[in-house]
Amino acid sequence: MAVLVLLGIIAVGPGRILRAGQTAINKMVIFTMVLEKIERFYITERDPNALMEQAIKGLVSDLDPYSSYLPAAEFNAWKRRSQGYSGVGLNYRVQSGRLVVTSVLNNSPAAEKGVRTGDQIVRLDGKMVEFLDSADLDAILQDDSRPSVQLHIERAGAGLITVELMKRHLVLPSIAAAFMITDSTGYVKITRFTEATAAELDRTMTELGRQAPKSLLLDLRDNPGGLLLSAVQTADRFLRPDRVIVSTAGRTAESFSRHVSTHNRKYPPLPMIVLVNEGSASDSEILAAALQEWDRALIVGRPTFGKGSVQTEYTFQDGSALLLTTAVYFTPLGRSLQKIRNDEGGAKSYRTPKGRIVQAEAGVQPDVLLDVDQPAMSETLKKILMAPQNPLLRFVESRSSTQISSTALSFCRHYAVSETMLQSFYDAMKREGFAFSSRDRRQNDQLVRFMLKREIAGVNWGEEGRAMVTAFSDQQVHKSLSYLNKARALTF
C-alpha cells in the first residue's frame, strides 16, 4: 500500500514519469524493491509510512533550501501560520497538570468570554487536563468536528469558573503592535504576511489616523514573509498608481507575473522609515525593496536575509504538501535579492527615480546602516529563560501588583519596575535554584527590569502589550527616528 501511495504522488504531474524516460521508471521499480526488502528483512520493524516520507524529503532536499515536502501535520501547522485555523484563540503552556494561559488572541472567542492570561485550565470538556496528551489537546481545542469546548478555569481570587467557547476561523494577527511611539510618529510592526494582513493594516492605519501622525515607522524586522499577494497588497497601499511592485519568472508560462500598483492608494504620503534586519525575508523584502526603489521610504537597520525565490504549494490526498520553488522574483528596478554566490562576481548598481544608488546584493541593503549592541546576558538569566516552566512569567503571574488599571500606552511610557519588585524577583529565583551573583545583577539589572515590565504588559494586554514594551525599550527604534528628516526629503 505504501508503494501505491508514493506512485500516486509522483504521477500527479501529467506524463512526467514518461517524459523522464525508461531510466526513471527502472529506478522507481528498484525503489519499490528496496522498500519491500526493508519491510521484510530489516533487523527491526520500521513504519513504512515514515520510510516513505523520509524518502520524499530526501528527494526534495536536493533541490534548493526553500523547496520542502511537508507531511500532513507539518502542513497543517504551516497553514495555521499563513491561512488561519479553527479554534478559540488561546496560547498556553502545560504546567503541573494544567494549561496555564500565556496569551489570548484579540477578538477571539476566548477574549470575548473574558479568559485572561494566567488563568489555569484544569478541565477541557469534562476531561482532566493532566490525563491529556498534546494530540488530545489539539483535537479538543482545534478540531473542526468539535464546534465548541468547555473550560473549567481556576483563577486567583475567583475560584472555579466554567466557560463555554464556540470555535470559529481565526487568523494569527499580522500586526503585533501599532501606536504613537512619539507625539507625531506612528509605529506599526508587521510580523508576517497572511491573507488578512492588508485588511488588518487598513484598520490599524485608520485608528492611527485619528491621532494625526506626521510620520510613520514601519517595523519589518524578523518578519519571515508569508503570502506574496499579501505583500503586494500592502505595497499597493503606499505607492502611487502604475508602479511595478514585483515581477516573477520561472520555467513555465504560469510562473511569469508582474504586479503593479493600482489607483486605490489608501494611505496619505507620510514620511516613512522602514526598519529591517537579517530576519526580514521573502515578502518583507519585496515590500521593503518596492518602497525603497520608488523613493517612498527610507530603509534603516541591517541587510535583510536575501530570499529571492517563490514557492508554489501542491497538496496531496493524504493532507501532505509540496512547497516547490517555481520562480524567482525581481524588484521594480530588476534586482534579484537572492544571496549572491562567490562565483557571480560583484554587485550591480541601480539608480532610483530620485537618483539614489541601490546595490543588487544579498537582500535589501539599508539606506542607513544602523546596529545597536545587545546587552550581554548572564548564564543564570539564560537558564531561567530556558527553563520549561518559565519561572519569570510565573513570578509575574503570582503578584497581584502586576494587575494594571492604566492603558497599555500609558504603562509603556510611565511604568518602572520598582526596587522592591526587582529584589523580590531575585529572591524568588534563588528559592527555585537560580541564584544571581553580584556580578550577574550588575550585568543584567536593566535587562531583568525590561523583561519583568514586558511580562507584566503581557499579563494585562497579551502579545500586543509585550510588543509595545519591546518597541519602547528598543534603542534601534529610537535611533531610527533621528533619520526622519532624510525620510521627509524623499516625500517632497
CB neighbours of 334 closer than 8 A, spacing ≥ 6? Answer: 350
Cβ contact 380:443 at 8 Å: no
CA 3 to chain centre: 37
Q: What is the pLDDT of residues 367-404, one digit of tens each?
A: 999 988 777 899 999 999 888 778 998 899 888 666 67
* Cα gap 271→489, rounded to integer Å: 8
Q: Are 275 and 221 in contact (CB under 8 A)?
A: yes
- For the chain, the structural domain boundaries read 2-62, 85-170, 175-317+328-371, 379-477
Residues 6+ apart with CB under 8 A from 68: 57, 60, 322, 323
Contact residues for 193 (Cβ-Cβ < 8 A; gap 6+) = 82, 174, 223, 225, 226, 227, 228, 230, 231, 234, 283, 284
CA 464 to chain CA centroid, Å, is 14
Q: Please check whether residue 103 is in contact with residue 91, taking contact to mean a CB–CB distance below 8 angstroms.
A: yes
**Looking at domain 175-317+328-371, which CATH architecture does it have?**
Alpha-Beta Complex (3.90)
Q: Which three cell numbers stand for residue 31?
A: 525503489
Closest among 330, 328, 336 to 255, alpha carbons compared: 328
Q: Which of 263, 266, 259 is closest to 286 using CA atoms?
A: 259
Phi and psi at residue 59, in whole multiples of 5°?
Answer: -60, -45
CA distance 412 to 468: 7
Mean pLDDT across the stretch 254-264? 91
pLDDT in tens, 93-134: 887 788 888 888 888 899 999 898 878 899 998 889 888 887
pLDDT value of position 453: 96
- Give the residue ranges of DSSP H helices in 342-418: 379-386, 391-397, 408-414
Q: Check residue 347 and give its pLDDT.
A: 67
For residue 206, the number of C-alpha atoms closer than 13 Å in the C-beta half-sphere is: 6
Q: How many CB atoms lie within 10 A of CB 22?
A: 8
Query: Which pLDDT belongs to residue 5?
Result: 28
pLDDT in tens, 10-56: 344 444 544 555 676 788 888 888 888 988 899 998 888 888 889 99
d(CA 168, CA 201): 22
Structure confidence at residue 14 (pLDDT) = 46
Residue type, position 19, single letter: R
Confidence class for position 154, pLDDT limits 50, 70, 90: confident
Element (H, E) at 323: strand 321-330
Secondary structure (DSSP) of 58-73 = HHHHTT-TT-EEE-HH
Pairing of strands 272-276, 215-219: parallel
C-alpha 483/C-alpha 492 separation (Å) is 15
**Topology alike, domains 85-170 and 175-317+328-371:** no
d(CA 237, CA 267): 6
Q: Which three cell numbers stand for residue 216?
A: 510613520
Q: Tell me which fold the domain 85-170 belongs to.
A: Pdz3 Domain (2.30.42)
For residues 68-76, average pLDDT? 89
Q: Band of the pLDDT at 344, cuts 50, 70, 90?
A: low
Question: Rounded CA gap, 23 and 25, in Å?
Answer: 5
Q: What is the DSSP letter of 339?
A: P
Contact between 306 and 273 under an 8 Å Cβ cutoff? The reply is no
